[in-house]
Structure formats: C-alpha cells, structure tokens
Structure 1
C-alpha cells in the first residue's frame, strides 16, 4: 500500500470524505499510523498517551485479540445465518455476566445498531411508541437515535424534538437542575426521578397508552461524565414500568468492566434493566455489538412473524475477537486494575482540584473520570476557553484528552484498561503545568492559546521525578 505524506492524506480527505466527518484537533489533525497498549504513534514516530479511547478497551492492537481475529479469518468468515460456534459461545459468555433473567442475545455491528434494535424491541413488546431519554444524551447516529439524542437534535441545525420523544433533566448533581449545594444526594436522586415520573404521567394522560421505553447510559458520557445519584435508576425504573414501559441500559461507553467493581455500570445501582445494549469495547475496535434482553421481550419480537437477521452481526471473526476480549479482561485482571488505577486517578485529580480553582468538580468511577473546568466555583459557570486551552496544550505534551458536556468544558478521561498509575502521574503533572500556564495567561495575557499559535510559550514537559514530587506534595 502506498505511503502518503500527512499533507497528501489531508488533501485526499478534503476531496473525498464528507465535511461532516470531523476529526480530533481539526485545525491540525494528528495522523496516527500505529497503536500499542495505551499509546498511539504518528507518522513521525512520536508517541502519545491515549486518554480518549474506550474503543481500544484492552489496549491498542492487543496481540491475543489480533491473533484470535487473524486465526479465525484464515478459517472462515461468512454470513451470520450459517450455524457456527463462536456466536453461541460469545452469547453464553455475555449472559454469564448478566443478572438473572437477561438471557437472550441479538448480535449487531455497532452501538448505534444495538440501540436502534432495543427501541424496536421495546415498541413491539409494549405496543407503545413514546420514549423517554435524558437531556444532553447521545445514543447513536441512526435516524431513530438522532430523534432521541438531545445532544444532537437540539443543535441549531438539528431536527428538533419529535412528539413521541420526552426529555428528562440530566441527573447531574453538580451543574443540573437539582444541585448538591442545596440538596443531599438522596434528595437529588428522588427529585430527578420524580421528573421522569411526571413525564410518564403526562404521557399516559396524553395518549391513553403509556411509555414504550426509558433509555439512558448507566453513566452519562456525552452529557459530561455524569454519575447519577445511587437511588436514581431504581425509582425511575418503577415509574417507567408502572407506565407500561421497559428500561434500556446503554452500556456502549461504560460496559465491559470499565468501572471495575462490576462488568456493567448499571450493576452499581442495584437495578435490572429489561434490555442492555453494548458496543465499542466489545471488539476492541472491531465492529461488533449486542443487545441482551429477557425471554419475554424476545418472544414478543419473534411473535410478530417478521424474521430478523443481520448479515454480519455476530459473524465468526467478530465473535472470535469478542471472546478474546473477554479472555483478556479476565486473564489480565483488568477489572481489578480499573478499580486500583481508577481510584488513584480520581484521588489525584481531586487533589489537583485543591490547588487549581479552575477545577470545579471531579467525578467518576473506575477508568471513567470527568474534570469540570469552571470560571469560578461559586457560580460554577463553564470555562470552555480554559478547557480548550488544556486540550490543545496536553496534545503538545503528547497526552490526548477530549472534551464533552453541553458546554464542552468537561475533560473526559476514558483510557484503555491497561492504563497505569505511572500514566496517571504523567497526566496529572501535565495538567498541573498547563493549568498554571492558563492562570498566568489570564493574569498577564502574555500566552496565546494553542489554536492561535504557541510562539510565545516555552514548552516544559515534566520529568518522571517531577510527577512523583507533585503527587507526593498533594
């Protein structure tokens, strides 16, 4: 295959790829040519610590996962309507991690397909159409999912809210409608759940039927790394089921042990969904996803008489890779690692917040952490300018982070599960340096933002000893 220069790649992309398909660091995109474990490498061989990729769940190009895919590809990869072992073994593996009653699997190619199928299952089983989703939520790029994704349809150029879609307030105790400066955690959970209860009541009064489904990420990613109150989902599920609906847990971002203590983030709330969707980390970058549901809901779907098949969903190669991902998580104790490294990451970021008033809140579970960048802690106003400065400067320090939330002010950390405490030290030390730079910038206005150019900035990448000293001093 021909090797292109970075500029040649950019030129061909501008000519042949849709403009809506945007890149990280779009003004000066990275050209990544190699990945290994928690690192990515550009065309010049420069190494970057990847804090973004929850897709490469067990690490980029994990040799055992690569070998499993290659070995199966040399034997067979064909239409999923032929009988083969890998799909049933993968289904058995998934069900073994689920609560009792969630025992029927459907295989698809992506998280978007999984969520689309989940909505279809819910509508057929309940006979209702109305869906409740959360403010700022994103569930995928299919038309059915854009319709319920406030993160997308509410944009200036979005499609707007459809009549069958109801949006509940995001259960954000820091920045949302009910905040922890006025209410206890338990009160916050009840108040946000009651909002869903009111929607259920209004829907029943309006259409005389009820709700088809409530869908939510178990921990909310695009909405700003939000961790719902512990009592939220249990109360919401009661309201939804009383209104005739089913409860869908979207685990596309946070499943497969990312929170450490459990395989699935919904388990942290002591609830049992009616449908669970999963994707991204399932294939470590290979396109495979799944829907898991109850025998009753699956029977309703079968009872329509309309055959369901997915040509590639659950094909032999994809399932071999998913089985290897499961094996790797267990063999390398990656859930346990997510607990120990995740707790260390959360603690270090919270200690950093004591030093920098620009950090308003630090929240997370396992290797799913958000840092809320603010103008000041009293108002909690989002500081998008600072967050963007940090993102660009961290890239210059060869650490890749991303931003999310409705105001793009949340530093989102979702690294591969092989992330180490040494990596935490590196990230926190670099954040400390960059936040000091931004403070100096705002105090003296002598440092330009990275997007405008870095000619006036003297770069300083902390050494390993600096990391250790910083962490010890906090």
Structure 2
C-alpha cells in the first residue's frame, strides 16, 4: 500500500485489533470530516471555487465524491459490478501544491536558469520567433492573473498568453475538472461515443443562439487555425463556390487556407496560397482622413466595390474578426457589420465570424463580441479563451449549413476529446457563475480611462482603442504625422516587463501595445497596468 493509502487509513483498518470487514468499509473519518467542515476536493471550501461570483457550484455544497460534469452519477459499472470513484481527500499538510495559498509554490522546485533553458531551446527547436524580450522571461507557475518565474518573481499577466487565458491561470474549478476527467479517460477519438462532446456542443450552441437562433451544430478542433479551415470548408460545400473576402490587417491562422485569408504581409510566408481570396479595407478610423462615421461608410463602400470589381460576385464567404487581434485591436464602427453582412448575403456568401480572440466574454457584457454589433453570422469560429490555455477550437453553425458536408470524409483525431471538453465546460461554468463578461466591461472601462489619461499627457500615444479587456494602444513618433513607432512600442513592452507587468505587441507596423489580460483582472490591477504603462512610456521615450 502506498503512502497516500496509509495516510487515509487508521487503526480500524490496520493492526491486530482491526475491525470487521463491515466496520472497515463504513469507517471513513476523512470523508466524514470533509462533509462536516464543508470542504470539497483538495481541501477547498466550495466558496473558493469561483472567487468572483455565485453559481450553482458555490450555492450547493460539494460532496466528497467525484462529480463529473457529464456523468449522471458518481459511480460507474464495471465487469465486477458498480464501483464508486472517490475524489482524493488530503490532509492539510499533504494537500497538492496546486491548491495551496502560497505566493509561489513552484519556487520549491529547482528550475534551470532561464539562460540554460534558452540555450537548450536554441539548439533543439526550430529557429522560429519565440521569446519576445532581449532578456527572456521564464515562466514556471501561474495563479489567476499572476505569473511567476523560476526565481519566484511575480508578474501581472496583462496579455493572457495572447488572449488565451480567460478565467485565470490554474483556476481551482478548472484544475479540479481536468483532474476529475484524467482519472477517468484522457483520450477518446470520434470513432467512439462519449457524452462530453454532445453535452458541451449543446451548451455552446445554446449560447450561439443569442446571435443566430438557428445555430445548433458544432465541430471541435485543436486550434483557431483548424477551426477557420473547417469554416472555409463548410462555406465552400454549402455554396458550391470557392471565392472568399477577408479584411486587410486581419489574422486567421497558420494553415495554408488561413494564411491566404490573413491580411498582413509578415504572416503571408507560405506561398503559393489557395487562390480566390480578395481583401477589403478595414474600418480603421484612426488612419482614415475623416470622422469615424465616414471611415465606416468608406469601408462598407470598399467592400461593395470589391464585390463588383475584384470577385466574380459569387462568393463563398466573408471572413472577419470582430475586433482585429494581431492587427492591433482595430475596432469597427457600430454599423459596419450589419451593413457589410447585408452585402455579403445579397451576393450569396456566408458570414464567418472569427471570435477566436474576442469570444468568451473578452469584449465585455456579452459572450460573443459580435453581439455588440447585432449582426447575424452564419458560422462562428472560437478557440483560445474557450479552453483557458487548453488546446481547443470550435465551429458553430446551422443544421442547414452543417448538412452540406454530409458524406464528405473529414476527421480530427483529437477534436472534441474528453480533456478538452472538460476544460471548456469548466470555462463556461466560471464565465457564467462569476459574471466575467460584466467584470471585463467594468474593469476594461477603468483601464481604458487610465490609458486615455496617459494619452492626454503624451504626444507618443496616437489612439487608445478596443472594448472590454481587448485593448490596443497605438504609439506614434508624432501625433500630427501619425508615423508608426514600432521601436518605441517594443521598448515600452520591455520596460513594462521590468516593472512586473506583461503585455504584448502587434499591429501591421508593430506599433501597437496589446493589453488582453485574464478576465478576472481587478480594478486595482487595471490601475497598476495603466500606471506602469505611463511610467514605461516616459522612460522609453
């Protein structure tokens, strides 16, 4: 018997005077103690599972037995009958480090120095872009909105692994869900049934009905690139056409088709690309010579002209991010999508809404970013925040469009796997139970106000833009000329890292500081990000 088994037993179970078999089966002091103290798995109180709000998980006490999100009961049949599946109950002194309220549990591990890790990486990994700093940061642990390096230094994560960590690093409910699932089954290909896939698809499709009441069908992948590729396949199959329109400065992935749909030269390096993709101007008000309303009208007019002169007029689909992610948080005007989508539908095309970065409440108030515009997508693509860092991609569409691929041979070995479904299901639990979309709206507004204050005092900030906790700050050499300042942006990002705040950089010219923190960011955190940004800009200028 292992150490853990001995730790759970006592003299009723061991020794010369141990009790009868019935007494031994009934004697579970740790489990009774957990019930009495109202503690759940790992010694956590249920109230700690969702720190930012109330949900079913907070209101109902957790039983010290396994409660799987897709199981009807906490036991299962085996060849020898019914077997219960208990969640391990740990004494306080032996609880897993993941649940301990320590500042830096990973500091107890002897990690290699960052220079050593960088040397191994340089020797054994492809020479592709990696660490973004001159002196790379080595991250070994995360707790909600905070990250820690090998020396225990804390960083406020204001980039969320490129808008990927939605509910927070190692959120207890997320970790608990993955642990519960991996004890049961870690992989199940589409060849076999598993209740998790259909159950989560039903839950996700129910959310998509807020933007299109006809949406009911999902397909799961491992990434946003794969999901966008599948969306293109659906559009071709449904319309019988092959031409697409995408937006200038957009980004849709790294497969051949999604690279062809990406409107930035730096990312278009896998030629030759699939033919038939044309680009329409982005609604980029800051770089437009006129008002924001005039910029929107010009962008819609550009799309209309492209449909008439740059295509056959018979397109398969229109790909558009709700807010440009890699493109630097460029945010279209309020009427852009309704007018653009009406044009696309008039020409028989489908509107593919890329919510890879904007979904899961990041833009505030709503689950999907497109809900702020009121347009009706035919296909929605999700990834990143849907898995909180666990690889997952999703395509959501209508039964009519989904039926178009019936009979076609297509397969994804890992898409919709039980671990990915457990991760995504836990994300929805927390987003809904903790009102994270509302938190993103409130805290995002506070953060943008702080950045606007910095912009009013600096001639290097061209524009602060975005929505919720998807924010971009475009830096320029001079406000009058609006000349991009990519070197300054890189210096600011590096300075902010030195001050303990991690952000990103993007935009076609590389001059936009990207701020996309986990949705659990607090008002105090927002103030810190704005203050560190202003200080770093002053130091780097």
Give 2:199's match in structure 1, choosing from 89, 94, 99. Answer: 89
1:223 partnered with 2:330: no
Match for residue 355 of structure 2 among 230, 248, 251: 251
8 Å CA contact 2:168, 2:519 repeated in 1: yes
Residue 158 (structure 1) shift = 5.7
Q: Distance in 2 between matches of 1:371 and 1:144?
A: 30
CA distance, structure 1, for counterparts of residue 155 and residue 499 of structure 2? 8
Q: 2:185 aligns with which of 63, 71, 76?
A: 76
Q: Of residues 281, 292, 299 in structure 2, which corresponds to 1:169? A: 281
Aligned residue in 2 for 1:274: 378
Q: Which moved more, 1:280-289 or 1:3-12?
A: 3-12
**Greater CA deviation, 320-329 or 94-103?**
94-103
Q: 1:139 to 1:154 in 2, by over 3 A?
A: closer
Aligned to 1:13: 121
Q: Deviations over 1:335-364 (max 9, x none)?
A: 111111011111111111111121111111
Shift of 1:214: 0.6
1:150 Cα deviation from its structure 2 partner? 2.0
Shift of 1:3: 4.5
Deviations 1:245-269 (A, max 9, x none): 1110000001001111211011111
> 1:436 Cα shift?
2.3
Partner of residue 486, structure 2: 384
Q: 1:259 to 1:69 in 2, by over 3 A?
A: same
Residue 428 (structure 2) aligns with:
326
Paired residues in the alignment total 427
Match for residue 125 of structure 1?
238
CA distance in 2, matches of 1:2, 1:367: 35
- Equivalent residue, structure 2, for 1:52: 159
Match of 1:233?
337
**Partner residue in 2 for 1:22:** 130
Secondary structure class of the residue paired with 2:189: coil
Distance in 2 between residues matched to 1:272 and 1:378, nearest whole Å: 38
Deviation at 1:139, TM superposition (A): 0.5
- Return the offset for 1:228: 0.4
| 2:227–2:381 CA contact under 8 A, matched in 1 | yes
The aligned counterpart of 2:112 is 4
Equivalent residue for 1:356, pick from 458, 482, 485? 458
Q: Does the aligned pair in 2 maintain the 1:154–1:161 contact within 8 Å?
A: no
Partner residue, 1:367: 469
| Counterpart contact for 1:81–1:309, Cα < 8 Å | no
Give the match for residue 187 of structure 1. Answer: 294
Contact 1:172 1:227 in 2 (8 A): yes
Q: Match of 1:466? A: none
- 1:469 alignment counterpart: none
- Contact 1:107/1:313, CA 8 A, preserved across alignment: yes
Q: Pick the aligned partner of 1:400 from 502, 505, 509.
A: 502
SS at match of 2:285: coil
Alpha-carbon separation, structure 2, partners of 1:248 and 1:367: 23
CA distance in structure 1 between the partners assigned to 2:180 and 2:124 by the alignment = 33
Match of 1:415 in 2: 517
Distance 1:67 1:405, change over 3 A: same
- CA-based RMSD of the aligned residues comes to 1.7
Contact kept in structure 1, 2:240 and 2:316, CA below 8 Å = yes
Q: Shift of residue 28 of structure 1?
A: 1.8
Cα distance 1:386–1:7, how it changes in 2: closer, same or farther (>3 A)? Answer: closer
Gaps of 5+ in 2: 1-108
Where 2:529 maps in the other structure, the secondary structure is: helix
**Alpha-carbon separation, structure 2, partners of 1:295 and 1:350:** 45
| 1:256/1:281 contact within 8 Å kept | yes
Matching residue of 2:402: 298
Q: Alignment partner for residue 159 of structure 1, among 271, 280, 285?
A: 271
For 1:340, the equivalent position in structure 2 comes to 442
Using CA pairs under 8 Å that are at least 6 residues apart, name the structure with larger relative contact order, 1 or 2.
1
Residues 178-199 of structure 1 show CA distances to partners (whole Å, capped at 9, x for unaligned) of 34xx23x333212101111111
The residue matched to 1:174 in structure 2 has which SS? helix
Question: Quick one: structure 1 residues 158 and 313, their matched pair in 2 at CA, closer, same or farther if it must change by over 3 Å?
Answer: closer
Larger radius of gyration: 2
Instruction: Sort the Cα spacing of 1:203 and 1:242 in 2 relative to 1 into closer, same or farther, 3 A.
Output: farther
Separation (CA, whole Å) in 1 of partners of 2:469 and 2:390: 21
> In the alignment, what sits opposite 2:258?
145
Residue 68 of structure 1 aligns to a residue whose secondary structure is: helix
1-structure distance, mates of 2:500, 2:116: 23
Deviation at 1:5, TM superposition (A): 3.1
Kindly state the Cα deviation for residue 55 of structure 1 after the two structures are TM-superposed.
1.1
User: How far apart, CA to CA, are the structure 1 residues paired with 2:333 and 2:215?
Assistant: 24
- Check 1:361–1:21 CA distance in 2 against 1; reply closer, same or farther (3 A cut): closer
